[in-house]
Amino acid sequence: MNALLRSVALAAQRRFAGFDPWICEALHVDIPSQLQPVFLVGAPRTGSTLLFQLLAQHYRLTYISNLMALAPRYMVRLSLRWPGLCSGYRGGLRESRFGYLPGLLSPNEAGRLMRDWFDGDNYPTTADMVRATVAALAGIADGPLVLKNQTNTLRLDNIRHVFSDARMLHLRRDMRFTAQSLILARRRLLGSAEHWWSVAPPGYESVLDREPLYQVLWQVEQLEELGLLACLAKPDASLVVDYDRLCIEPARTLERIAAKFELAARDTSPPALQPAEVAKLPAAEWDRLIDIHREHFAASEQRRIERARVLDR
């Protein structure tokens, strides 16, 4: 999204923020277990936008589209009038720009909305309104609201306060390739690998004096750990998915997710995917990343993989 469109979008979000008065009718509606929201958590640059699109295309679920994110105050009544705003995504797989997908009907990360719902001191007082909004949207599409915003990985305590039965979908990826993608994003968006980019886990200040390759590996490790802990806390309502496996076996992986979260399939089949795990950094820099990973992060990554296996039982 270019700077002008972004400024217009942010102005619209500010102008039309808040909750739709229509949801007051759903304030005391219980959300059935199969319609409890699903939060896609973990580190950025793990393929979460790809997975988000695949789920929205191939299963009956609810998502917040770009148009809905522009006018949160009216998104429930707009979706009642045009259910295609929040479900039935048919845009095809699109290349995202760091989480943003073009098109008014495309799924949106809803960053501003997630801050309004779960950050700061407001979320306890607005919890009923948030639950009513989610209940209304899930009812319109007859499918759970799936929310993909990796900063939610830092909001899990607040999310559990609002949705005690929330479900977690954790997408993990080989740390080395996630870290590589973060370094490339820093350079592309900020002009230098020296500047921090994206989700900042608690304590990130303690690694700002380390080299950028160490910083991004540490960033991934912290967010992977938080995502896994959230899943292990409620294993019956959580799932860990591997990015490599998604690319190699997309149909089987999606079926596994659908079975866990009781998602009804639509009449489409997932496309073949190409694994993207290739070294893109200069050779010397890639070798340095491998060395740092081996010395400081490989053992803990392997332990997380082993701990996640209990979720497959």
Q: DSSP character for 271?
A: P
The reported pLDDT for the residue numbered 205 is 98
Paired residues of 39 in beta bridges: 147, 168
pLDDT in tens, the chain (313 residues): 555 455 555 555 565 567 887 777 667 778 999 999 999 999 999 999 999 999 999 999 999 999 999 988 999 999 999 999 999 898 777 666 666 787 888 999 999 999 999 997 777 788 999 999 999 999 999 999 999 999 999 999 999 999 999 999 999 999 999 999 999 999 999 999 999 999 999 999 999 999 999 999 999 999 999 999 999 999 999 999 999 999 999 999 999 999 999 999 987 777 778 776 899 999 999 999 999 999 999 999 999 999 999 887 6
Let me know how long the chain is: 313
- CA–CA dist 134, 144 (Å, integer): 8
- What values do phi and psi take at 23, rounded to 5? -75, -10
Nearest to 140 by CA among 84, 89, 90: 84
The reported pLDDT for the residue numbered 15 is 59
The reported pLDDT for the residue numbered 249 is 92
The reported pLDDT for the residue numbered 254 is 95
Residues 26, 211: contact at Cβ < 8 Å?
Answer: no
Output b/e per residue, 79-110; b: 16+ Cβ within 10 A.
bbeeeebbbbbebeeeebeebbbeeebbbbbb
C-alpha separations of 241 from 125, 156, 171, 182, 258 in Å: 34, 18, 5, 20, 12
Asked: is 3-312 a CATH 3.40.50 domain? The reply is yes
**What's the angle, vertex CA 251, arms to CA 245 and CA 255, rounded to 5?**
95
- CA–CA dist 197, 214 (Å, integer): 14
The reported pLDDT for the residue numbered 269 is 76
C-alpha separations of 107 from 40, 75, 251, 256, 281 in Å: 13, 13, 20, 22, 30
The reported pLDDT for the residue numbered 270 is 77
Provide CB contacts within 8 A for 6, sequence distance 6+: none
**264-265 and 59-60 beta bridge pairing:** antiparallel
The reported pLDDT for the residue numbered 21 is 78
- What's the alpha-carbon Rg for the chain, to the nearest Å? 19
- What values do phi and psi take at 178, rounded to 5? -65, -45
Around Cβ 39, how many Cβ atoms within 10 Å?
25
**pTM metric for this prediction:** 0.91
Ranges of beta strands (E only) in the chain are: 38-41, 59-60, 146-148, 167-172, 238-242, 264-265
Provide CB contacts within 8 A for 52, sequence distance 6+: 40, 63, 107, 146, 148
Provide CB contacts within 8 A for 22, sequence distance 6+: 76, 77, 80, 136
Residues 121, 95: contact at Cβ < 8 Å?
Answer: no
The reported pLDDT for the residue numbered 120 is 75
- Per domain, the residue ranges of the chain are 3-312
